[in-house]
Amino acid sequence: MFLKSVRILNFFYYAIFGSVILKLLFLKTGFFVFVILKLILKFYSKLIF
């Protein structure tokens, strides 16, 4: 029983820790990706129209 609760706590700890890291990475890289996608869309719209 104790081991099971420790395993669950470990899982929650890693899940929360991982999600925080992913959020930080996504906020940093997501901004760059957003800017790059906007630039690509602008470029393509100029080519098409």
Instruction: Please give the distance of CA 20 from its chain centroid, rounded to a whole number.
Output: 9
Who contacts 26 (Cβ-Cβ below 8 Å, separation ≥6)? none
Q: Where are the domains of the chain?
A: 1-49
Dihedral, 13, 18, 23, 24 alpha carbons, nearest 10: 100
Would you place residue 45 in the very low, low, confident or very high pLDDT band (cuts 50, 70, 90)?
confident
Global confidence as pTM: 0.41
Other CB atoms within 10 Å distance of the CB of residue 33: 11
The Cα 9–Cα 17 span in angstroms is 12
Q: What is the pLDDT of residue 1?
A: 64
Query: pLDDT digit string (tens) for 4-37?
Result: 887 888 888 888 888 888 888 888 887 888 888 8
